[in-house]
Structure 1
Amino acid sequence: MSTYPVSDNDEERIQILNAFELMDTPPEHEFDQIVQMASRIFDVPIVLISLVHRDRQFFKARVGLAVCETGRDVSFCNHAIMGRDVFLILDALQDERFRSNALVVGAPHIRFYAGAPLVTATGHMLGSLCLIDNKPREIFSERDQLVLQDLAVIVIEKMELRRLELKNEDSLTRFMNITSTSPDAIICSNSKNQITSWNNSAELIFGHRSEDAVGKTLDIIIPQEMRSRHHAGFSRVVSGGPTSIIGKSVNLTALHRDGHKIPIELSLSQWTEAGEAQVGAIIRDVTKRVAAEKLLKHAAEYDHLTGLANRSTLKQRIKEACDAQIAAAILLIDLDGFKDVNDTLGHAAGDFVLRVTSSRLRKRVPTCHMVARLGGDEFVVFMAEIADEHKAIELGLALIALIEEPIEFQDNSIYIGASIGVSMRSGADYDGEQMLGNADLALYQAKSDGRSLVRMFTSEHRHTASKRGALSSSMRQAWANKEFELYYQPQVRLADGVITGAEALIRWNHPTLGVMSPAVFLPVLEAGLLAVPVGEWILRSACEQAAHWRNIGCDGFRIGVNLFAAQFRTRDFAETVESALNDFSLPASALELEITENIILRNEQRIMEPLRYLRSLGVGIAFDDFGTGYASLSLLKDYPVTRLKIDRSFVSGVERSKKDEVIIEAVVRLAAGFNLQVTAEGIETREQESLMRHYLCEEGQGYLYGRPMTAHEFTERYVSMTDDNLTYPIINNPQLPEQGF
């Protein structure tokens, strides 16, 4: 009993396959070209032309695979020949039919497979043209499937043509029998260039009836401008002279009866009959194929969504400029806020934004320069023969202003921004890959500096990136080795000096350097892939510690936790917070999440819903570093904020600057109007404390009360036990020693 599907007419199918005489034959250039082209078009490492025989499959052409055949029992292509549509497996490990297949669990580790059956004119499935990747895919579009089927048609046409050529070599009689049923035009002529045979397909392709064509010269299907070349070549063939086209397929242009030109594929054969040279031609109208190849070429060189040049075309253009030593500039453009469009309005809106953006870029960038889409929301402007960096920056600023114009989609006005990195090279100091890399580093700097900016690459960017990469690698190791630790800084009620809670702060306990300041590693951590898992660890660890202090008697103790922007990009952020509260039985009111204005501005659409939900549970929302951002006031009315934390820069200067006093007084009054609590950060002296109390700040935090410390130190210093209960110390009681940190 077979372990794989077999059609009812499998033996008949195998006989048809045998007739093609392709099994176990050496590679042939025409088939190899197709698999190589398919590999480039679909960006897959493995492409095969598989012929499925009785108990095995043979690869007539292959790229990316060393073996030339496998057993039929493990063949994906055996499944592909069971129907006429493309057989598609997006992830073999998720498919019960293939997850234990030897080609999945072992080399070549197939995860993605797409196979278009090779269908003969009689409807028999001989095998497939298949794409294979060791990585799964989320989608293989209908357009991709149609292109793959078109390529499969070309393969079967090549197979049919090869079979016909073999039969022509066998005998002229068999050749003549084929002419009446062949879908190709089959035309014979004598040594005088006169047509002696003209089949039905020739009538259909060229418009001349057989009785009108026979006896005429071949000139009736040859365009005027090509006739002199034809006469010379024909004379050479019939005289036995050297020729390079006999037995080969060549692409030419022919003439229809009504005068229009037809792209054809021509194969010639020559023999002698009754002592006279005869010439036979198999001609195929390849109009549809030429159109398909143009479509494929366009698909391989241009982005299907925007119509802009794609990555491969851009790199070729850059290489040409490099080879010619032409001065040039690259503007690497990344859209700001695009992901929010997809998340809130859907991918249809996102695609619309990309098309509008590409149209704006095309209209603004001079036609002598190339505009390309790298993928996602990244675009590139390549400016050849430009050595003036001011022109590049000027164009970049103009493009940002253009992109920031509102985009109307259905009933929505969509606002996005853009950041641009620029790199330039001239003369011999020029390398395409390096230029793109440099532009990417400059783009990173533009985003770090606040977005909606243009930054020109400098050598310092590469040095910074190298340090950042080394630090990121070290942090991954630190995370694995559990070198991160939470420190806690007390927060004090200014009216009576009682501790109300603490802010949890991450520290890196480096094995050789000791405890590292967050200023050294926090920016890299926040921008990297560790932000989400480390952020969740901070949240859960802080909740667990706060629950412990409350359980031993610290009623009303509140823990403050800072958030990374990346945490809001996860769809389950609110659920993560709620889970931490439930797991450690911590009341929602005992947790205060601290967010900065930058987090809000970068996640404006997605941040609102989870914050409102958490606030409905009772979680506090503190606006950290308040007063340092330009949009703070407008954000207060929209976000569920419960506390403002006055930035330390205002508190530390309050003894010397009247302006700082005015700002603090204004913030406190503003908070009162919004019914918000206020915490002053960075209090270091009794005078600062007195001034904050004077301005009615409810709480304070700073070195006057204690530096950030471990949970153990915090417990020993600030949590005291009595026989009856646990109490907080009064930090500013004169009887207590002042904290001299």
Structure 2
Amino acid sequence: MVKKGMKLYQTCCATVKEVEQFVKNHRLHEKKKVYISIFAHEKDERLKREIIQKVQQLLPEATMLQMVGGTFSNQVIVSFMILEEDEASTEQLDEMRKQIEISEQYYKSLFEHNPDIVYSTDLQGNFTSVNPAFEKVFGYRAEEILHTNALDYIKKEDVSRVRRYFYRALKGKVQQYNLEIPTKSGEVYLFQIKNVPIIVNGEKVGIYGIGRDITKQKKAEEKIIYLAYYDTETRLPNRVKFTELLNEAIAEAKKEKRSLAVLFIDMDRFKIINDTIGHYAGDEIIKQIADRLRKVIPDGSYLGRFGGDKFSLLMTQQVDVQRIIEWAKKMLRAIAVPFIYEEKEFFITASIGVSIYPNDGLDAQSLLKNADIAMNRAKQQGGNRIKLYSTKMNEQALYRIELESYLRKALEKDEFFLVYQPLIDLETGAIFGSEALLRWNHPKIGLVSPTEFIPIAEEIGLIHEIGRWVLKEACTQTKKWHDLGLGPLTVSVNVSATQFQQPTFLEDVKWALNVSKLPPHCLNLELTESLMLRNISYSIHVMKQLQALGVKVSIDDFGTGYSSLSYLKSLPIDSLKIDRSFIQQIHEDRSHIAIVKAIITMGYGLRLKVVAEGVETLEQMKLLKRLKCHYAQGYIIFKPLAADEFEKQVMKRERMSNL
């Protein structure tokens, strides 16, 4: 504390001009007796000498009390002690020195002993001082960094933000903000920075910055947040985080009017694993399960863990029952692969329950509850299965699963058969061939529509095997009719896109012809427009090879594609089959008459035969005759017939034509 009769003036200066201004502002040149103390770092010797010279010019009568060194880099502390008496006694001078030293130590502690980084800049943001903590943390020596701009040491994306804080501080407003700052070695620390203006004699001359390292604090906070929202063993979102994600997804789905699916996946009888090999081993297997599920879940999905052996999945893209079932089955298969722990195999199955937004709930709690209910139903039925909360959807899904299971065995159990729909020549009325149509009669569920089982067969890879059987059966039956003297009947066989794209398709056709001994020109393969246009160059290549064998090629459902006309002239085909949608409305819509007429005319121009399918009335057949369509098939002529019934109809027609 400064004693009575003494006055202490103190300033921290970086330039001679600041000292000069300080002396003038405090009118020190008017004081009777001034004692001066200068405190400066050894590195600032030049600045110290310049300040001494200036002070001696301004205060020629002043007494230099002491000049000491320190670590207050690039700043000089100048202390002026004024006595009210004219002269100071030795005792008073000692007291002055003591007071000045105390004051200077207080002043210097701001920099030297502060564990936080402390720095100052001029009005342009150039460093004018840095404390030892700054040098230690960032790895820069003071002489490296002084007089360089502070903005050069932060990330580019933070420059504009920090510049705003700097100018706000210059306006007199203390600024506080968090900033990541890289060190010289490249490490990054998070600091809580405070900027305050440096005011000398009422004038702002720069900025002081004080920074506290909060990196550890931030990491601790992040860890607390992580523990609150994520499962530590699997690193998956926990119940709280998953529910939060579900709420966000529901809000988006509501705006976009789309569906979501929530799946609960619970391991069956997992308690046995824990009781047998212990909870630690059980946790290791749970981690493996989480890893397997991560690898098989669809895009746009979020996997979570609800504790124990229960997982949750949120599906947000292309949500339909069929796709849900497909992905759920993938997850069941992934879990069913044996787990290895300490050289032992463990077999695990799971039960999956599904709820769908908005049908099974409009909020997170309802969807989670209903998925849980569905999962428990799956467990009650023995586990290792999928159950949908919606009864109707569940029945559809179960029916499809059941159908797939039966379909895999249908061929070996001889459950498929063919029916033949006669094709007639519209000019003569004679039956010249048939279209072979696949049917499936299952002993339990009865007749199954091809529209139901063909897509499943394509999806699970059975269509190739079934297609081979159809080709052989149709060719064999047609050759039998030839041998019975029914004439050179032809047979048309539909080819699916998946079957046609098989590299072995051409060999399958050759095999069927070879086994049946049917002349190749009596076989007609029907391909859809979309099938051929999927890979036009490959399709043309295969069709040319078929024609080289003598096999006929026809475009089925013509008129429903998009680009057929531009490719038609280059396709190696023998006939066009007008799609039934045009025939059915040929009397009701004049535009359909125009389309049918145009197709027939085009067929004649390209020397192609034209077949009308789906003929159901006499009026349709008469109109097609007038338009000079070559062939027709449909219910008004014949429904699809079993092989023996087809024989009878051909024989009957022959007898009638001979009368």
TM-score norm. by structure 1 comes to 0.39
* Largest Rg, 1 or 2: 2
More helix by share: 2
